[in-house]
Structure 1
Amino acid sequence: MMGLVRSVYLGKDEWNLITLNISHLIGDTVIDLTKAWIPTGETTIYISQWIGDVKVYVPNDLGLEVKVIAHTFYGTNQAFERTNRGINCRIVREQRGY
């Protein structure tokens, strides 16, 4: 999915998770995995945007192993209760067992 100005919301209804590549300049991205059918194996979600919020909601009850790599030129990154703020922030977090 590409576009200059747009917002993306996946997960209002049940859906099948596949490898995703979302790129846009301005807008918000929300991916709600709580209603997704998540296949066995590794699935990559790549999101690139300049201005806006990115939120990915991961269900707690499925025993998923998750790794987050986030880079922000200016702003805040938060993953698994760790937060970085400022200029050129990078965060790499993974759940135990990934």
Structure 2
Amino acid sequence: MYSKEDWQKLVARINELPQVKTQSIKRFLFGSAYEISADKQGRVSVPQPLREYATLTADVVVVGLEGTAEIWDKASWVKFNENTNNEDLTELALELGI
């Protein structure tokens, strides 16, 4: 999920690139994008095609990534974390100086 502002920045950045290189990514990103709004209680409804694509079930995890958020099926998130090698993450963090 992107905020409206961050989505507009992404669109502008993609549109600056040569069209021949971006046509496929534009089809995928723009063709499957939905504008959603939160209700009065701050909840959002993920459109059915996106729920199917992400294999979302009843339990989900929202992962904040700076200006964006990812919505994961809880079981997929647990599996991802189980398969994440902490040594590789530590090595990458050191390489990046963080």
TM range (shorter): under 0.3
Higher relative contact order (CA 8 A, sep 6+): 2
Please tell me whether Structure 1 or Structure 2 has the larger radius of gyration of its CA atoms: 2
- TM-score, structure 2 as length reference: 0.23
- How high is the TM-score relative to the length of structure 1? 0.23
Structure with more of its chain in strand, by fraction: 1
